Amino acid sequence: MELLLHTFSKHINITEQELTVVLNRMRKKTVKKKQYLLQADQVAKDAAFVVSGCLRSYSIDDNGFEHILQFAPPGWWITDMFSFISEQPGNLFIDAIENTELLLLSRKDQLALFDELPKLERYFRIVTEKSLVNSRQRLVENLSLTAKERYERFCNIYPTLINTLPQKQIASFIGVTPEFLSKMKSQWLKG
Amino acid sequence: MELLLHTFSKHINITEQELTVVLNRMRKKTVKKKQYLLQADQVAKDAAFVVSGCLRSYSIDDNGFEHILQFAPPGWWITDMFSFISEQPGNLFIDAIENTELLLLSRKDQLALFDELPKLERYFRIVTEKSLVNSRQRLVENLSLTAKERYERFCNIYPTLINTLPQKQIASFIGVTPEFLSKMKSQWLKG
DNA sequence: CCCCCCTCTTAACCTAGATTAACTTTTTTT
DNA sequence: AAAAAAAGTTAATCTAGGTTAAGAGGGGGG
């Protein structure tokens, strides 16, 4: 897959042979729109690399509300990191926003690759560092910005998603109710 | 330092020689209570390992409010990860809650050690994975729990900090005003 | 030892965003 | 193409938590 090669190449130099070694450990999978890749209480055996389509990860709280943690368009990795590294049942759901093609890599295979191909451990070290920066940034923004400001940030950061995504899910990501997002947008047009 | 050895040993096997290699790249530093290790707009050249005392990292928003991201008691690492990995000016402050002894490791030295000692890259890969799990978990909790529930979680997770920390800082960490935390605690006694 | 600054408390009032509910529009299923 | 389900809108009402203000400890530096 060229997309996978391109994605690795952003952070490490990798040869075709090395890419083949990695690909031999990965399995293709497709998930249709609205179907689950993972549900809460399952163990996330795999990390998923999105080739086409889009996935989302979210938790459901005690009141039944969804809180979206991540969208994964093509070229992104997604999993329930807690479950993936601890091999314990997690509390995240991952499902497909549209028909999606994936490459799966199990934790076992990932760890084996880290020994075979130290470059790959470096790649994931870097990707994880960046995800951490991202997650902490989002935490700060949730604590310090208003709903309107968070919506604007979302539009800037995910300009491509803004048109394809149901508004409901944008609301869930920025941490407001769909009703309130709708209200904000109409006040927008007036003010 | 035995604490550093012990901390590495939780995730990797490391010999005394290897530890020496690492220590040769680290510098001792002390920071007195209320003094800064890092301020916003500076580049975080170093990651800090806390030997004794306690640090905190936080951002200050446009209204002058502090939002605490992390406390670092002995055995923890702390830095402004964004700045540390991008080598650009960051937006976090790090200061000492009490007189603190540190071991500093610059990004340059860290990257050099990753080449010399692949084990160390593994160690930081694992630590970063865990930090990511933590940060995402906190994000979900901020979106789904009430202030009271977040306070209870804090008490469970940091039982040792609860007595040493000014209540103001606990409020900042869980994302409420000091006034509201105070109010919650008094309602607590009544209810 | 005292003063000043900082932390904590209490209470009245305020607001961003949630809740509820009824309705409209769009999408999906058959 | 009809029917059903899901998504979005609007508006009234409600509340968790913020803001403002004023007073009460309390500990560290001169």
What is B2-143's CATH superfamily? Jelly Rolls (2.60.120.10)
Query: Using CA atoms, how far apart are residues B73 and B67, in angstroms rounded to an integer?
Result: 18
Cβ distance of A67 and B122 shorter than 8 Å = no
Question: A124 is written with which tokens?
Answer: 């994931």
Q: Distance from residue B179 (CA) to nucleotide D22 (C1'), in Å?
A: 13
Cβ neighbors of B134 (< 8 A, separation 6 or more) are: none
Q: Distance from residue A126 (CA) to nucleotide C17 (C1'), in Å?
A: 37
Nearest CA to CA, how far is B80 from chain A (Å)?
A: 9
Q: What are phi and psi of A151, to 5 degrees?
A: -65, -45
Cβ distance of A121 and B118 shorter than 8 Å = yes
Nearest CA to CA, how far is A92 from chain B (Å)?
A: 10
Counting residues of chain A whose pLDDT is more than 70, the rounded percentage is 99
In this prediction, residue B188 carries a pLDDT of 75
**B187 C-beta less than 7 Å away from strand C:** no
In this prediction, residue A104 carries a pLDDT of 98
Q: What are phi and psi of B32, to 5 degrees?
A: -80, 155
Segment A167-174 shows an average pLDDT of: 97
List of chain B residues whose C-beta atoms are within 8 Å of the C-beta of residue A65: 144
Q: What does each of the 191 residues of chain B score in pLDDT, given as a tens digit?
A: 799 999 999 999 999 999 999 999 999 999 999 999 999 999 999 999 999 999 999 999 999 999 999 999 999 999 999 999 999 999 999 999 999 999 999 999 999 999 999 999 999 999 999 999 999 999 999 999 999 999 999 999 999 888 889 999 999 999 999 999 999 999 876 76
For chain B, which residues make up each domain, given as ranges? Answer: 2-143, 145-191
In this prediction, residue B1 carries a pLDDT of 78
In this prediction, residue A1 carries a pLDDT of 79
**B186 C-beta less than 7 Å away from strand C:** yes
Query: Using CA atoms, how far apart are residues A100 and A33, in angstroms rounded to an integer?
Result: 7
List of chain B residues whose C-beta atoms are within 8 Å of the C-beta of residue A56: none
Question: Which CATH fold would you assign to the domain A2-144?
Answer: Jelly Rolls (2.60.120)
Query: Which one of A128, A130, A134, A180 makes the best mutation probe of the B interface by having the most chain B beta carbons within 10 Å?
Result: A128
Which of A125, A131, A175 shows the shortest C-beta gap to B124? A125
Residue A118 region by backbone torsions, left for phi larger than 0, else alpha for psi between -120 and 50, else beta: alpha
In this prediction, residue B160 carries a pLDDT of 87
List of chain A residues whose C-beta atoms are within 8 Å of the C-beta of residue B139: 69, 135, 138-139, 142
Chains A, B: CB pairs < 8 Å? 93
Segment A16-35 shows an average pLDDT of: 96
Q: The dihedral of CA B19, B23, B24, B26: what is its sign?
A: positive
Nearest nucleotide (C1') to alpha carbon of A33: C28
